[in-house]
Chains A and B, each alone.
Chain A
């Protein structure tokens, strides 16, 4: 089981398996890219072969018929506002439970941990009833406000913040900084790794969210990229093949690029582990 640096047949086998795995994982991405530059009939009749001739008419169609810019705008409004609000408010609460020993803090933190155990499906219907009665259905804040802070993210940031030495805080307090200033000037910069984790989870989560927009943003002018792609795909089955692959590529490639640059942060966010 120890890593070895000698050439052996078992090393050959290991690399052969790793390469096969890599091809299987990468192929669907390749399939998506390849079909996005084919013509419609070619996608339907020979989906697995390489494009005979590269065409970008699918991408053109996406902007003309799917109103891609509007979809991107809506998804960005959601993802950016949820990411900023949730990361900030979760960090604020995390700082209080990590570093300010106010009476009742431990009980409050215990209560937070309990709320984390409740499966999300329980909230689906009653939250819809509530948002419906408030008249928020069809408006962005129906999704933004309930996501403005979350216990799981408070927990993640808190776990990081407890390791910040108290001496740093005491020194700043002696210099006359109030807690708000301290939070903004000292705590937030020191907590950058935890904030990156939470920001990534927030952004990917809201960008990829399907059920939320399906319930609350079900009018064409408020469609997000995910909902727009779904509606486009199911409205006329078998049609629009070119546009579907072009749209799929456009939605996915920006995320993949960000992932390539921040892969360590992504692994920490999604798997909660640090790898060298």
Chain B
């Protein structure tokens, strides 16, 4: 790890492939393999892995259904579920000795935040159309349009920086404790890392879900305000 950005492990055609990018691609491959294997082994009498996968998918479906309208759940669920799974796996990857969490790279968290930013507008426009969706930026008064735009930018920036800052600081703290203290002292910190990984993944996904839900809500009723962003 070089500074706060990932190390460049390979260079292909003059393009440097960083550690975080390669780990992200590895995670994608791992998820794809797991999904393929699980998808091929689905049966009417599920095994343990299928039961866990179905339980996780059911939980995520219920969480999404609590925020967005029921009709939008099938469209929103894949994006939010993938966000949760990817960020959780990426956060936990920092526990593997010799590897660092991809989410401690601002480029990764910024890419995820931009994806959320784009997804919010894509879902909003698909639900209500351009005119109706853009009109909600003028509600309740056109004077508030700059504030709406600033809000869109700042919350996207907050998403990226929050996840990046939490994971980076956590790993830095763990590294410092490991350097200063003995062998067993960092163990509680590693447990905290697990909790933090879960919480940050949940927060990022829930915030994305709330933003999308706000866009869908604004599309359906341009009068109603967007849901408030929960404090973290």
Q: Do A and B bind each other?
A: no
